[in-house]
Amino acid sequence: MKAIIFDLDGVICFTDKYHYIAWKKLADKNGIYFDEEINNRLRGVSRMDSLEIILERADRTYTAEEKEAMAAEKNASYVELLKEMSPADLSDEVKNTLDELRNRGYKLAIGSSSKNTKMILKQIGLGEFFDAVSDGTNITKSKPDPEVFLKAAEFIGENPADCLVVEDAKAGIEAATAGGFKSAGLGEATEHPSVTYKLGSFKDLLEICI
Ligand code: B16
Ligand code: MG
């Protein structure tokens, strides 16, 4: 393995609580039922696909324009919450593991569905850290399509077979496998049948990437 491509939300840092608050505010305003279980289904899923999942509980249909406006409204609340993030939201375990992987000579990249990736990285003090960032702003198809990881591999000039993808979402493991990458899963991603390595914790990467 020459390079490691990390998912952002749920791997490097945790923004689910902010996604939840912002979607809940939108759902409540529109009288649509939303809870933490539905929020869990939004892991690794793009903003518009997340909205479609939320609208499964709506009692009317929404036009494309209304959907665009709803997604923009949710994102505005979410971005307000992201402003509260700081380097304190990056754990010592993640920071020390990333530093050690860099010392070992691996190229390190991000592969995230989020269009807010660059802002989040900046907030947690990793704005300049990665060799490349592939995110929701440079893809047309979201996970489980492999596009976001294939772009990350292209940006760092490596073949998928030489890269490890680290993911917390089943859709992310599916994307990695479809793209010809090996994968390391955290949390629910360990349950995906095609995951290559199951991690108990982020620092376990140091046992795989020697
Ligand atoms: P945004 P990841 C994903 O990030 C999140 O897990 C998912 O919940 C979110 O809907 C998606 O990004 C899009 O985010 O609205 O900020 O563009 O896990 O792929 O790093
Ligand atoms: Mg994730």
Instruction: Determine the length of the chain.
Output: 210
Phi and psi dihedrals of 4, rounded to 5? -125, 130
15 lines ligand 1 (CB under 6 A): no
DSSP state of 53: H
Which among 5, 7, 8, 9 is the best mutation to test ligand 1's pocket, defined by most ligand atoms within 8 Å of the CB?
Answer: 9
pTM of the complete model beyond 0.80:
yes
**Residues 105-146: tens digit of each pLDDT:** 999 999 999 999 999 999 999 999 999 999 999 999 989 999
189, 205 contact by CB (below 8 A):
no
Catalytic residue, from 9, 28, 131, 204: name it: 9
User: Nearest residue CA, atom 12 of ligand 1?
Assistant: 114
The rounded Å distance from CA 44 to ligand 2 centre is 5
pLDDT surpassing 90 at residue 45: no
DSSP state of 188: G
Q: From the alpha carbon of 75, which atom of ligand 1 is closest? A: 15
User: Nearest residue CA, atom 15 of ligand 1?
Assistant: 47
Token digits for 77? 């609340």
How far, in Å, CA of 8 to CA of 14, rounded? 8
**Residues 153-179: tens digit of each pLDDT:** 999 999 999 999 999 999 999 999 999
Roughly how many angstroms between the first and final C-alpha of the chain, as a whole number?
Answer: 9
Average pLDDT of span 50-68:
97
Domains in the chain with CATH codes: 3-13+87-208 (3.40.50.1000), 16-82 (1.10.150.240)
What single-letter amino acid sits at 38?
Answer: I
Residue 57, annotated ligand binder?
Answer: no
Q: How confident is the model at residue 34 (pLDDT cuts 50, 70, 90)?
A: very high
**7 annotated active-site:** yes
